[in-house]
Structure 1
Amino acid sequence: MDQESLNERETRAWVRFQHMRIEINVVLARMLTRDFGLTEADFVILLRLSNSPECRLRARDMAAALQWDRSRLSRQVSRMETRGTVMRAPSEGDARGYDVVLTDAGRAAFQAAWPSYVSGIRHCFADVLSPHQLDALTDIAETIDRHFIAQHWPGGLNDPAKADGARTTAAGLELRPAEDSLESAS
């Protein structure tokens, strides 16, 4: 098979996947901004903090979980601090780092937006698909996630830190914790 091009089936699947992902994200992002004054970035941080013990996370852990570089997270946290939805606090045991902490205003903003966000997911995604399609899509996503973790996550086969020949197998890696899921945010 030609490694420099996709066949018709692969191209069609990839294009439809990208189109679907972008369309759903655009609808949800517009709703968050229009109805709640939140950006997507605001919302994912509020979601992650809402699911965290004591509604706080080390900045470096949040950056890693979101797959953002630390400077992107720092700029986003600064914007959110200005609006009063989060604050920085010293990290216990890490004098150089800081924790991102959900404020009462941030909690209120998240709680106000969450029902509409879920409704938007239902409207644009969950209610459009049959139970069989949802199960198939979940299986597809989990398969790709396992590949990603094994091949592209720190410690995976393609991690530059593993260039010394050490290998991590997919069997030794687990999916990300359930707290990453939307269902645990409610």
Structure 2
Amino acid sequence: MAERLLGTVLRHDQEDQTSRPTLGEIGLNHFAPYLMNRVMARWNADIAEELKAHGLTTAKMRALAVLSVSASLTINELSVFAVTEQSTMSRTLEALEEQGYILRRPRAGDLRIRDVSITEEGRAAFDKFWPSMYDSLLKMFDGVTDEEYRAFTAVLHKILVNIRKHDI
């Protein structure tokens, strides 16, 4: 699929909504959501294979990754950061707690809220997997300069601000 982009994709200043380009005019190879889905589907598939060798699932890895750089989070916050449905996160946290990888404690000021934190065992499990995760990152960005990587992540942050539903 080596189509060419004909015209402008982002027509922000168009008052006439009928002048939207068609997907055919944009082409899949220039439609950012399609490309992001392909990239993340490949990343997730590659990571899932590696995770099996470490006795982890994608949801567990995401939770441990987020908790490895956070003091503690609520289940809702962790669900947002780990990009996982809250019901899936609750089941994941039960399994991680059984493995001794996380602790869930009621918050002192509000016993309805549970704060989740990583244990030393959980940190060790994540640290064991981190080299595989980082190597996948390097593979994904092979040939990309540090400057391009910084620009790319800056654009992703702008997009996230535009679409996010949470303040975090």
**So what's the TM-score if we normalise by structure 1?**
0.67
Q: Offset at 1:138?
A: 2.9
SS state at 2:23 partner: coil
Aligned residue identity for 1:8: E
Unaligned runs of 5+ in 2: 1-17
Identity in percent: 26
Q: 1: distance between equivalents of 2:131 and 2:76?
A: 29
1:92 to partner: Cα distance: 2.2
Aligned twin of 2:15 = none
8 A Cα contact 1:32 1:117, kept in partner: no
TM-superposed CA distance for 1:29, in Å, is 2.1
Aligned-pair CA distance for 1:2:
6.0
| 1:73 to 2:92 alignment | no
Counterpart Cα distance in 2 of 1:22 and 1:69 = 17
Shift of 1:122: 0.6
Letter in 1 for 2:68: S
| 1:129 match: secondary structure | coil
Which of 120, 130, 143 is the aligned partner of 2:136? Answer: 120
Work out which of the residue numbers 144, 151, 160 in structure 2 matches 1:145.
160
Aligned to 1:37: 55
In structure 2, C-alpha distance between the alignment counterparts of 1:67 and 1:16, rounded to whole Å: 18
Question: Is contact 2:51–2:58 with CA below 8 Å preserved after alignment?
Answer: yes
Are the aligned partners of 2:48 and 2:57 in contact in 1 as well (CA < 8 Å)? yes
1:134 is the counterpart of 2:153:
no
2:36 corresponds, among 5, 13, 17, to: 17
1:51 aligns with 2:69: yes
State how far apart, in whole Å, the 2-side matches of 1:139 and 1:52 are.
22
Q: 1:111 to 1:128 in 2, by over 3 A?
A: same
CA distance in 2 between counterparts of 1:9 and 1:3 reads 10
Q: Deviations over 1:88-113 (max 9, x none)?
A: 21222121121212122211101111
- The 1-side partners of 2:92 and 2:99 are apart by 11
Letter in 2 for 1:37: G
Q: Between Structure 1 and Structure 2, whose CA radius of gyration is higher? A: 2
**Residue 142 of structure 1 aligns to which amino acid in structure 2?**
H
Contact 1:91-1:97 within 8 A present in 2 as well: yes
TM-score by length of structure 2 reads 0.73
Which amino acid is 2:66 matched to? Answer: R
Give unpaired runs (5+ residues) of structure 1.
156-175, 177-186
Aligned pair count reads 149
